[in-house]
Structure 1
Amino acid sequence: MKRPAHATRGRYAPPVPRRTLDVTSADGSRLYAEVHGPEGAPAVVLSHGWTCSTAFWAPVVRELADTHKVVVYDQRGHGRSPAVPPAGHSTRALADDLVAVLEQSLAPGERAVVGGHSMGGMTIMAAAERPELRARAAAALLCSTGCADLAAESRVFPLPSPGGRRLAHRLLLGSRAPLGPVSPVARWALRYATMGGGSSAEQIEACARIVHACPTDVRARWGMVLYHLQLTRGVSRLEVPTAVLAGTADRLTPFVHARRLASVLPRCEGLTELPGLGHMTPVEAPDAVAGRLRELVRDHLATAPSSRDERPAGRQKKEKAA
């Protein structure tokens, strides 16, 4: 019997949403979205990464939904969002989809803290210059992500030269090889590539089920978007207060990416360093991720500052979380 595409019990099992939405993007693509938590509470909108789904945010949603309205959605081709033609895979499409979710899940005039993990963080960067994002986003959190040079700086294949790493990671990102069932070997490979050494068996199993459920063509097409990624301009134009969070043992987007983002963001709200954690921070450290989102809500949404100039541009602080 085929295993479900997510954990079905415990902290990593997706909670039942208060309601679901069928969001329509700019090109007509449909997106599956969920709304958790009480209507009228401070809103948080979360965007998942490559090969994942709404289920990836389950432990963070569980942390926040008692006191926050939490919106999660499946990126096109992932989870319950239908696949799209090859031309529909681009950073522009990611930005279109995020804007559509914000416009169709929030009430008129409602603002939210937006959070993105990996490709979800790139989604926020891609939408940086969209007026809809600037109108709707009170603040942002970028988790375990980067804006450029992913293939050359990744350490899944720790080859000595950038050219060698670029080639090896291009083959990884563009691969259409089936991942097969979630076996002990598959769990080991996923933990090595994406998680810290201290990850629990429950965390590894939850991530493996989600990643293995991603269709092969979807994985490969978005993988090539990541290979060609160039969003440095987007980061420099992301004018909402933005915090960065990353694990120091991340092989897919090594910590150098987090430092680079913090140095380029116009209104950096701090770099949170998670020692020994890998790429899957919302699963490996949901308390830290949810806590940072709560802080951004407290500082930029609940209090509704009247002017973006109330906080000095480029402010950075370095934080550590266990």
Structure 2
Amino acid sequence: MTTPIAQIPDPVRVFEAVSADGSRLHVEAYGPDGAPAVVLAHGWTCNTAFWADQIADLAADHRVVVYDQRGHGVSPAGTPEDYCAEALADDLEAVLDTALEPDQRAVLAGHSMGGMTLMAASGRPAFRAHAAAALLCSTGASRLVADARVVPLRAGRLRTGLTRRVLGARAPLGPVTPLSVRLLHYGTMGPGAAKDRVRRCVEMVHACPRGARTGWSRVLDTLDLELSVRELTVPTAVVCGDADRLTPPVHARRIADALPDCVDLTVLPGVGHMSPVEAPEAVTAAIRALTAAHLERTEEVA
């Protein structure tokens, strides 16, 4: 028996954060004022609803902040030049400075491109001022295209080239069809993922504007955040699925080895790339463990 996808409660606050280049980001806050704060950054082609299960659970006793990455959800798209790792870091800084009090710290969690956002921002002043701990879910720091296994071939130039074409395809996705569900299930989720959760993720990917999808795919193709991982000095947990074809466990292990303070590495059996949707209880538990061990203790000391 599978757990139904949680219904997101009404946000207590909806607002915008303005990034360094003037880009406006849609931000939502849930849960009581004064509760331990958690900031969640979604991945490529997703939006705030990706975190539905985490919002529904954590908002009971946490302040949960989610935002749409630029070009995703209801955050406006920019020009192709607006998509870069620096923009990811700028945007997260803007969200942290807008959503949190000047001396407020939070646990930051990022999935896929959201995890790359945390890594890209690791040396930024706002990150260092607000981050008490971090969770990196199903993400990588470099070699994203070369290591991806969405094309069922042996590693090499042919697989890398075909993967680049698949991930960077400019064709519109169109309506959700049984074929698109099967293809995206294969590429992004584990074989045992519940049908309603597969459907939710497929609808999210199809809803992502084509310009943002292709623009960010070019960024991910050449991304190299290896040095940024070493600047992520807060206590950090890493979660991945052993059936992840987009960011296979080799990425999680590299990140864990490079982190200055890796507090945990969890590999979830049978789980694909969409770990917060496929294994919501495990991801939520990892966030709660970080707030209990690092954030609440920090608030008490402060």
Assess same fold via TM > 0.5.
Answer: yes
Residue of structure 2 aligned with 1:141, choices 135, 143, 146: 135
Cα distance in 1 for residues equivalent to 2:201 and 2:119: 24
Whose helix proportion is higher, 1 or 2?
A: 2
Partner of 1:286: 280
Could you report, residue by residue, the CA deviation over 1:139-189 in whole angstroms, capped at 9, with x for unpaired residues? 000000000001111000022232122211111222111111111111111
Partner of 1:160: 154
Residue of structure 2 aligned with 1:271, choices 255, 265, 274: 265
Could you report, residue by residue, the CA deviation over 1:22-62 in whole angstroms, capped at 9, with x for unpaired residues? 11000000000100001100000000000000010111111
Cα distance in 2 for residues equivalent to 1:43 and 1:162: 43
Partner of 1:199: 193
Matched, 1:213 2:200: no
Deviation at 1:305, TM superposition (A): 8.4
Cα distance in 1 for residues equivalent to 2:47 and 2:26: 10
* 1:9-158 correspondence runs (5 A): 11-158=5-152
- Counterpart amino acid of 1:237? E
The answer to whether the 8 Å contact 2:5/2:52 transfers is yes
Cα distance in 2 for residues equivalent to 1:14 and 1:306: 30
* 1:289-300 correspondence runs (5 A): 289-300=283-294
Residue of structure 1 aligned with 2:295, choices 295, 301, 319: 301
Deviation at 1:241, TM superposition (A): 0.7
Could you report, residue by residue, the CA deviation over 1:235-286 in whole angstroms, capped at 9, with x for unpaired residues? 0111111100000000000011011111000000110110010000010011
Structure 2: tracts of 5 or more residues without a match: none
The answer to whether the 8 Å contact 2:147/2:155 transfers is no
Cα distance in 2 for residues equivalent to 1:191 and 1:34: 28
Cα distance in 2 for residues equivalent to 1:266 and 1:233: 11
Deviation at 1:13, TM superposition (A): 4.2
Give the match's secondary structure for 1:302: helix
The answer to whether the 8 Å contact 1:144/1:245 transfers is yes
Residue of structure 1 aligned with 2:168, choices 159, 171, 174: 174
Q: What value does the CA root-mean-square deviation take over the aligned residues?
A: 1.3
Cα distance in 2 for residues equivalent to 1:196 and 1:144: 12
Cα distance in 2 for residues equivalent to 1:139 and 1:229: 23
Paired residues, what number?
298
Deviates more, 1:161-170 or 1:36-45: 161-170
Structure 1: tracts of 5 or more residues without a match: 1-9, 308-322
Deviation at 1:217, TM superposition (A): 1.3
Matched, 1:224 2:218: yes
- Counterpart amino acid of 1:287? E
Deviation at 1:230, TM superposition (A): 0.3
Deviation at 1:306, TM superposition (A): 9.6
Could you report, residue by residue, the CA deviation over 1:201-250 in whole angstroms, capped at 9, with x for unpaired residues? 11011111111000111100100100001000000111111100000000
Cα distance in 1 for residues equivalent to 2:162 and 2:300: 49
Cα distance in 2 for residues equivalent to 1:305 and 1:216: 42
Residue of structure 1 aligned with 2:183, choices 180, 185, 189: 189
Partner of 1:250: 244
The answer to whether the 8 Å contact 2:7/2:56 transfers is no
- Counterpart amino acid of 2:144? L
- Counterpart amino acid of 1:28? G
Give aligned-pair identity as a percent. Answer: 55
Give the match's secondary structure for 1:59: helix
Deviation at 1:108, TM superposition (A): 2.2
The answer to whether the 8 Å contact 1:174/1:220 transfers is yes
Deviation at 1:12, TM superposition (A): 4.4
Cα distance in 2 for residues equivalent to 1:70 and 1:164: 43
Give the match's secondary structure for 1:303: helix
Cα distance in 2 for residues equivalent to 1:14 and 1:267: 33
Cα distance in 1 for residues equivalent to 2:279 and 2:180: 22
* Distance of aligned partners of 1:157 and 1:176 in 2 relative to their CA distance in 1, 3 Å threshold: same
